[in-house]
Amino acid sequence: MCSFLEVSNKYLSNPINNTIDSIWKMRNVIAHGASRKLSYIDYDTTLEHSIDSDDEVFIKFMTKFIKASDILEDLMVNLDLEAFEKWPAIDFEH
């Protein structure tokens, strides 16, 4: 994507990418009902939640998940801004 859009390769080396990949895998587990345990990697820590987890484990799991989502959102906003600087949107009204 970075080479296609001709944007900085800094997005390739961002450590959030491993977290994104593991969240996508977790999504597949949820979609296919393949497990009663959810897990993802938050940078270098594996977080897990299962049907037997207590409230504290669930809150930690979700807090880290929301934080990772916020970081991803910021990354995507920056990528969009960089891409639009390189490839401005066409104003079809004028």
93 in any annotated domain: no
* 23 in any annotated domain: yes
Place 90 in a pLDDT band, splitting at 50, 70 and 90. low
Q: Which helix (H) or strand (E) holds 45?
A: strand 45-50
69, part of any domain: yes
Q: How far apart are CA 18 and CA 16, in angstroms?
A: 6
pTM for the model stands at 0.74
Contact criterion met (CB below 8 Å) for 41 and 18 = yes
Residue 63 domain-assigned? yes
The residue range of the domain holding 21 is 2-86
> Is 92 contained in some domain?
no
pLDDT digits over 58-84, tens only?
A: 999 999 999 999 999 999 999 999 998
Tell which residue, 91, 92, 69, 78, has the closest CA to residue 5.
Answer: 78
Q: How many domains does the chain have?
A: 1
Mean pLDDT for the chain? 87
For residue 94, is it within any domain? Answer: no
Cβ(50)–Cβ(37) under 8 Å? yes
Residue-wise pLDDT for 7-64, tens only, equals 888 888 888 888 989 988 999 988 888 788 899 999 889 999 998 999 999 999 999 9
What pLDDT is attached to residue 92?
Answer: 59
